[in-house]
Chain A
């Protein structure tokens, strides 16, 4: 990795003035300026606009002037069954994916953390799907979940032909297809984070536990789990936030985004449908603000837990 030399900001003559505090301040602001301008323009301004628009009837293109409508957008959303349906789908997805994917990632990490032959090979294989971008992964799995696809071929064998749903066209099963793809593509990332944490647990702790007569399971629950507590909290919250952001799979996999019968419609699918599809920037912004508040709460919970550990 070559380090790019800064081209736009620095000027050589500044180098000679390093001693004085004033020039250090100047240099600091020159270093910060490009990033600060971009952060302001593309995070701070749109964030402020999201809050402002959420109280107006702003549309993407409209001949009529924008009006302040107070809480109408929020009240409208909170009384819209479609909004609650979307939130419920995020919850349904998270309720399974968060615990399952975390445990699965931990199992994979423990397996490849053992000093056995082939661990690098298996680690590579477990991690490979992360290089398949979600849009491509979703496309491959659409074919696999086809009613006559390989997944049903598998179930036909193990259930003697008693189970072959039309996954992506069946409201009962569509979300499960999305769950499988998400885990397939994402679990390798969590595995690596947990693996790094496992390798940081001091060996003396295992030795001490072993001398005290703790078996492998006791060592796992009393040494390993507390030792990787922070990484586990990190993985749990990041996976929960990712579950809130679920968009690509429910947009690409069913024959219509969020379908069938809104069974995979998520908050983000709903927001894009309202804000972009129906061009209602005001209402879409209200959904964005609600979404942000949920993510904020999740993040604060995470930081709370991490703080407890530190103290």
Chain B
């Protein structure tokens, strides 16, 4: 072991790492965990590729993890025909895309004003934002449903988008990030005659890319999976997002498990691929969500 070894390395080297038996035990444990996390996904894909009546018939043996008898993409075609998956998918993209995209602008501007601009009431406003973080959306769902019904917004996109654009947690994340940027850069730009708007656009926002990435990833994960709210404010397939779509499809007769699993593959695969490509950013984004506590 090199003398420059960091603590962890030495811990594992001295304690358990040196012993090959221990090392294999640890690999075995990690493999068991890995199987626990992965087998439902393999099962999902395998079930989507076999005839509907075979899914339950062979579901009790390990054969369920292999797509035999293989029928190609027939279940996918059925799911798309029966449940209008492309439409529902587009709804989800539109809703989550708007929440994340517009939210990045609105929340970062708010956070920047709190962190850097001097105006009366700034401190109070920081306190208000921190207090609002505590209120969980679920506590607002019932009165919001009432408000939405009053203005005739049930079964629309806007009732699924507007309540989630401004987010006190994200404002706070931007606020703390902007506080951490050295003032000297902004001051240099100001001396050159740039006003707050230009400073924000040209100096601060480019420096804050990690904060934008974190908020985009967290915002997307939360909005993409939302179920409670759309399940009470949407009726038809026109504005329904994917989580409600799969819930309805899985319980609408005739229940065809091959088609249902094809639906879950269609809604899961794109996110999985994006996750594998941007894995590093994902990991960093999620990790930093806990730092602030």
Instruction: List chain A positions with a Cβ less than 8 A from chain B.
Output: 1, 3-7, 9-12, 14-18, 21, 23-25, 27-29, 31-32, 34-39, 41-47, 49-50, 53, 58, 60-61, 108, 111-116, 118, 122-137, 139-144, 146, 148-150, 152-153, 156, 184, 188-189, 192-193, 195-197, 202-207, 210, 215-216, 219, 230-231, 233-235, 241, 245, 247-248, 251-252, 268, 271-272, 275-276, 281, 284-285, 287-289, 291-292, 295-296, 299, 302, 306
Contact = CB atoms under 8 A, between A and B. Distances in A.
Interface residues of B, number: 125
Nearest to B15: A216
B197 A46 contact: no
A150 B7 contact: no
Interface of B: 6-12, 14-17, 23, 26-27, 29-30, 33-34, 36-41, 43-44, 47, 55-56, 59-62, 64, 101, 104-110, 112-114, 117-120, 122, 125, 129, 132, 134-136, 138-147, 149, 162-166, 168, 171, 190, 193-198, 200-201, 205-206, 208-209, 212-213, 216, 221, 224-225, 227-228, 231-232, 242-244, 246-247, 250, 257, 260-261, 263-264, 267-268, 271-272, 274-276, 279, 282-283, 286-291, 293
Nearest to B194: A15
A142 B255 CA distance: 13
A contact patch SS: helix
A133 B140 contact: no
A55 to B, nearest CB: 13
B293 A135 contact: no
A136 B195 contact: no
Contacts of A153: 59-62, 64
A155 to B, nearest CB: 10
A34 B231 contact: no
Nearest to B266: A136
Given A27-B195, A271-B138, A291-B138, 10 more contacts: A9-B109, A15-B194, A34-B105, A47-B140, A133-B227, A192-B290, A205-B7, A272-B231, A281-B143, A292-B135
Contacts of A108: 33
25 contacts: A10-B200, A14-B196, A15-B198, A23-B195, A27-B117, A27-B197, A31-B112, A34-B105, A36-B125, A38-B165, A108-B33, A123-B283, A128-B38, A131-B272, A133-B225, A135-B225, A136-B267, A140-B261, A153-B59, A189-B286, A210-B7, A234-B293, A248-B243, A252-B227, A288-B140
